[in-house]
Each structure stands twice: as C-alpha cells, then as structure tokens.
Amino acid sequence: MKILVTGFDPFGGQSVNPAYEAVRLLPEQILGAEILKACIPTVFGQGAGLLEGLLTQHQPDAVLLVGQAGGRAVISVERVAINVQDASIADNAGNTPVDHPVVAGGPDAYFATLPIKKIVKHVQEAGIPCRVSDSAGTFVCNDLMYRLLHWIRTHELKTLGGFIHVPYLPAQAASLPGQAPSMSLEMIVSALTLAVEEIITSFDTTATL
C-alpha cells in the first residue's frame, strides 16, 4: 500500500511551514505501508501539476494533503473543498484571486473521501486536540484539496483523498502579536502519523468486506 502525504512551503512572510516540517519527519513506513512525501508550492494552481504527476507516477492508494492554518488551536481534519479561490493575502507568486473558480464549470464542492471522523477519534484518543473542520478556507490549501478530489473523480480513481490543517509552531506564534495558538512539531508529527494509521486501517477493513 502507498500513501502520499504532502505539505506546503512557507508563505505569508513566514520562514517555516509546520505542514511540510511535520510531513518530512514522518516514518518511511507506517503499518507496512510506504509513505511518499512531497513539498507543494504555495501558489494557486501550480501545485496541481506536481500533484497530478505524483498520482500518475506512484498511483497511491490514498493522498493526505497537509497545510498550515495559523490561528487554529487544534488539528483540523477537513470535510469539504469548495470551488472558489478568494485570497486575503498573496500566494508565493503574488497572485490574489477574488471570487474565482478553482475549476471553471466544476462542481460547487467535493467531500473528502478519507475516514475523517475515525481519524479525529484516533488522534483524540492519543490526547491530541483534533476536530472535524467544515471549511478549508479559500486560499491555496482549499485550492489543492479541490483539485485533488476533482482529479480523482474525473479520472475515476479509487484513491482516497483529504486534507488536514495544522496550527502554528510555537516559534511562529511567539513572533506574532497577540496570543496566537500553537502546537509542538512533535505533537503535529504524532497526529499525522495517527491519521495515516487510521487511513491504512480503514482502507484494509474496507478492502476485506
């Protein structure tokens, strides 16, 4: 079994992105499954070509996209991606789309096909704050999640797909005004490892039914 896990490069003036910092620290294997890792540019549309190439090359059984959600205090397992780009800040190429579709003529939204509530339960049972989120935003994270699920649907793949948002790292939060919530890198890595475990376990259970 192969699981592709991706994180983004730093954006918004930050020098680090906890998403990819955690992804790159994941084990090479989890419960016997091969873990493939990739860093995605924080640019509208640009990551789609890279992601589609990885899907074609490796044909993973599941894809877990990971991104930073500064201001959130918990691991957020996303339920839905919507067909809109609406940026409050520029991406890393200076793009600031407003009310623009991710895919012209595409469905209004796609739901994640990962076992999101099982993931949340598994992570919570380890003592890590985690919840289902009903909004992946309208920035590059939502853009990539939508494009992933659209690619899977239009190419009639059996691949599972979804997205997890993670909080700031403590050093990031300390550099910002106010009281921005944060989470240690070690805890984020643990949460992602647990999420992947649940994806594999649920996949194996479904496959044997």
Residues known to be catalytic: 78, 141, 165
Residue 85 domain boundaries: 2-208
What confidence score (pLDDT) does residue 178 get? 80
- Domain containing residue 56: CATH number: 3.40.630.20
Exposed, middle or buried, 158 (CB in 10 Å: 0-12/13-18/19+)?
exposed
Prediction pTM value: 0.95
User: How many other β-carbons are positioned within 10 Å of the β-carbon of residue 6?
Assistant: 24
**List of E strands, 62-169:** 62-68, 75-78, 80-82, 109-111, 130-133, 160-166
Task: Report the distance separating Cα 130 and Cα 144, nearest Å.
Answer: 22
What confidence score (pLDDT) does residue 208 get? 41
Task: Report the distance separating Cα 64 and Cα 160, nearest Å.
Answer: 8
Total structural domains within the chain: 1
pLDDT averaged over 10-residue windows placed end to end, the chain, 209 residues: 97 94 98 97 94 96 97 97 97 96 97 98 98 97 98 96 97 87 97 98 65
